[in-house]
């Protein structure tokens, strides 16, 4: 659901959305081969998974993305069942382009391409950045792809298909009518420099520093506050009044990065408050309001006293300050990011689930000396709070995620009641690391060969694992408190009586051929052509294809890396589970509509997020699986209606024999509640035999 709305927003602005990473890039360790922390491996890791788990869990977001019209999808670095994602014909051609009906282009992650012809025939449409290794100037494609088309290894229809898919996405978002000249450079912030940055050619104006922020600051502040989750609020300790006599702020996470908010390349450090993880997908902060600044502004405006102590390790000073304070606000964090950056020995993935920088000990030290301690956590995911969450002096706990540039103002809005918290946890806080049932692979397990990551847990991740093994979490998936209270009543389930499911049948049209390969002489570099160093061109050096390739194995023996049937452009049988964007269109038929009444029984206006869960009834199904939610703003003593549609896909399982979806004979139950463990209402989904069991 979230990916679909993001795609619509991006592409409505005239930008091609790129959904990634396809697929099973579930850890950063060993996503690429080579010498790296943990061991030297020859190839990237392989995520090994069964057909049911692939379809019932990991493929869903990509089906939603395709249905939403994403223009591009990026294939990942890792292998899947020991075949690289960017040249896995089954996943790219059969599943993504066939079963899910994806009409856009597949692009590689940067340097995730491992072969030329094989990747082209397996469905890759665009290689990024073009060369096989950064700044090498050598490419699996470029001239090699031209040669492959000229000698017939890559059919003309396949190269036409690549071009059509790329240009289709360009037209889809309106680039033909909404084109804006490039006014910035990706590689430097300098105003003047080389347009061809690596080649050092074309000096001139490269960054115009156009301010495009508009009202973004206010939106970021509101969004950050709306995503904040209140986990504990003993005796209504929150919201604060702003008139507390002495407010003490603790933790490096409350203050500035001493190097500045952008002092670490790609945010690759954990200094100061954590507002963004690290990696190549980050952006520079125009500014970063720290929690100390946001809170101090409120306290000082009310004539109070405030002091900040941002050394996590000086327990003596912490204790002394805590004993003086009326309220103690302790900030701690846990960071993570992309695997090419290592922070404090964390290679992209976190080494553990504890708070960083002595955070847990600081929290317990402050709480031991202050009977009104509020803990605020900025973390990339779940952390272990087992040692201190029940401390009697810890009156409030907040998870604030990664809030962005307005971090300090957003947390102040929550702490002082300008906004009522309505966020819900997107993961479970467990009591022990082992409660989660599965872990990352931190050390190679196949010698120097590709590490093998076995997805033996099936679809049972996060709350589904806790439910399956009856493990009690500290704070469950979907949990979150408010400064008011809500009740649920009047469950209503409407059955729409939709006809039976029918597999897609028939044949596709043959692959269209839009041109002819021509002859080699037309593909030779034009006379006098200036080649920018390290750029990748489609031209070849001579009409002798063998000589132009420079490959000593050119034309020798059968090409075992050519995917089966990938050179066949004839009409093909349609895939039963396919037929439209996101799969068979009947998967999205609305079978039921579930409604209930949500009432605010408190004294202030607040947001609630009612959640719909479904039990499919089978022995291998989750106890409950989230199938819908909404955010409702409700005034005191008022009510609102929560409504969620249940589609055929929502109550279907994957059958490996028929390679299609089916609805099992087990009874189905719908639940509505405020979290995965607080389900106030339930009712049967009466599925008739007409639905194609």
Q: Which residues are catalytic?
A: 109
Instruction: Name, in order, each residue with C-beta under 8 angstroms of 298's C-beta and a sequence gap of 6 or more.
Output: 242, 412, 415, 416
**Alpha-carbon radius of gyration of the chain:** 28
Backbone angles phi, psi at 666, to 5 degrees: -70, 145
Write the secondary structure of 460-486 as one string of H (helix), E (strand) and C (coil): CCCHHHHHHCCCCCCECCCCCECCCCE
DSSP for 386-401, please give it.
TTTTT-TTEEEEEE--
The CA-to-CA distance between both ends of the chain, in Å, stands at 26
Q: How far apart are CA 466 and CA 681, in angstroms?
A: 21
Give residue for tokens 């998974």. Answer: 49
Quote the tokens at residue 32: 């690429």
The answer to whether the CB of 244 falls within 8 A of the CB of 374 is: no
Instruction: Name, in order, each residue with C-beta under 8 angstroms of 647's C-beta and a sequence gap of 6 or more.
Output: 587, 588, 589, 590, 591
Quote the tokens at residue 456: 């033996």
Half-sphere exposure of 680 (CA within 13 A, CB side): 16
Q: How far apart are CA 555 and CA 463, in angstroms?
A: 53
How many helices (DSSP H) and strands (DSSP E) are in the chain?
A: 15, 30
The answer to whether the CB of 623 falls within 8 A of the CB of 464 is: yes
Q: How far apart are CA 73 and CA 125, in angstroms?
A: 10
The answer to whether the CB of 396 falls within 8 A of the CB of 310 is: no
Buried b or exposed e, range 100-126, using 16+ CB within 10 angstroms: bbbbbbbbbbbbbbbbbbbbbbbbbbb
Half-sphere exposure of 95 (CA within 13 A, CB side): 21
Backbone angles phi, psi at 58, to 5 degrees: -80, -25
β-pairing, 105-108 vs 72-75, is parallel
**3-state class (DSSP) for residue 170:** helix
Backbone angles phi, psi at 442, to 5 degrees: -95, -20
Q: How far apart are CA 530 and CA 534, in angstroms?
A: 12
């Amino acid at each position: 659901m979230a990916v679909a709305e993001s795609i619509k927003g991006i592409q409505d602005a005239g930008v091609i959305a790129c959904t990634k990473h396809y697929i099973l890039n579930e850890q950063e360790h060993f996503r690429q081969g080579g010498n790296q922390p943990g061991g030297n491996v020859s190839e990237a890791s392989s995520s090994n998974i069964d057909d049911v788990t692939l379809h019932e869990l990991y493929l869903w977001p990509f089906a939603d993305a395709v249905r939403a019209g994403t223009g591009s999808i990026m294939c990942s670095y890792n292998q899947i069942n020991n075949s690289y994602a960017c040249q896995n014909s089954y996943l790219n051609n059969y599943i993504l382009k066939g079963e899910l009906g994806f009409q856009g282009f597949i692009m590689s992650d940067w340097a995730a391409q491992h072969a030329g012809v094989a990747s082209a025939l397996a469905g890759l449409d665009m290689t990024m950045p073009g060369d096989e290794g950064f700044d090498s100037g050598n490419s699996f494609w470029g001239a090699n792809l031209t040669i492959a088309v000229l000698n017939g290894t890559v059919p003309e229809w396949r190269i036409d298909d690549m071009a059509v898919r790329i240009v289709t996405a360009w037209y889809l978002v309106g680039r033909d009518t909404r084109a804006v000249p490039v006014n910035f450079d990706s590689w430097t912030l300098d105003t003047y420099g080389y347009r061809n940055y690596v080649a050092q050619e074309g000096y001139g104006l490269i960054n115009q520093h156009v301010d495009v922020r508009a009202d973004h600051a206010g939106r970021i502040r509101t969004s950050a506050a709306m995503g904040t989750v209140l986990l504990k609020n003993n005796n209504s300790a929150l919201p604060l009044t702003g008139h507390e006599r002495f407010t003490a702020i603790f933790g490096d996470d409350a203050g500035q990065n001493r190097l500045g908010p952008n002092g670490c390349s790609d945010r690759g450090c954990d200094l100061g408050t954590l507002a963004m993880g690290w990696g190549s997908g980050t952006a520079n902060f125009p500014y970063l309001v720290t929690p100390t600044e946001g809170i101090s502004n409120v306290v000082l405006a009310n004539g109070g006293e405030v002091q900040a102590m941002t050394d996590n390790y000086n327990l003596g000073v912490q204790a002394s300050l805590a004993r003086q304070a009326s309220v103690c606000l302790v900030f701690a964090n846990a960071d993570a990011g992309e695997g090419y950056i290592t922070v404090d020995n964390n290679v992209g993935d976190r080494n553990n689930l504890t708070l960083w920088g002595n955070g847990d000990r600081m929290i317990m030290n402050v709480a031991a000396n202050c009977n009104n301690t509020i803990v605020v956590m900025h973390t990339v995911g779940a952390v272990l709070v087992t040692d201190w969450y029940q401390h009697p002096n810890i009156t409030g706990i907040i998870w604030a995620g990664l809030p962005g540039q307005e971090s300090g103002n957003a947390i102040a809005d929550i702490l002082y009641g300008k906004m009522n918290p309505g966020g819900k946890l997107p993961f479970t806080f467990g009591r022990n690391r082992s409660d989660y049932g599965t872990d990352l692979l931190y050390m190679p397990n196949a010698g120097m060969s590709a590490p093998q990551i076995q997805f033996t847990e099936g679809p049972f991740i996060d709350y589904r694992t806790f439910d399956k093994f009856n493990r009690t979490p500290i704070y469950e998936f979907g949990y979150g408190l408010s400064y008011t209270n809500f009740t649920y009543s009047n469950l209503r389930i409407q059955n729409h009586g939709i006809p039976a499911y029918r597999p897609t049948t028939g044949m596709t049209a043959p692959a269209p051929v839009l041109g002819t390969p021509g002859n080699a002489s037309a593909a030779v570099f034009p006379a006098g052509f200036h080649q920018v160093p390290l750029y990748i061109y489609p031209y070849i050096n001579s009409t002798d294809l063998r000589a132009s390739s420079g490959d000593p194995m050119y034309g020798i023996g059968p090409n075992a890396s050519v995917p089966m049937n990938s050179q066949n452009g004839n009409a093909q049988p349609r895939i039963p589970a396919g037929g439209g964007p996101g799969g068979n269109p009947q998967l999205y038929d609305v079978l039921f509509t579930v409604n209930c009444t949500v009432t605010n029984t408190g004294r202030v206006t607040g947001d609630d997020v009612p959640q719909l869960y479904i039990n499919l009834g089978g022995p291998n199904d989750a106890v409950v699986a989230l199938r819908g939610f909404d955010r409702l703003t409700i005034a005191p003593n008022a009510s609102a209606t929560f409504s969620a549609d249940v589609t055929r896909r929502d109550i279907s399982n994957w059958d490996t024999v028929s390679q299609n979806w089916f609805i099992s004979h087990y009874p189905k139950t719908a639940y509505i509640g405020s979290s995965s463990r607080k389900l106030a209402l339930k009712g049967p989904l009466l599925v008739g035999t007409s639905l194609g069991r």
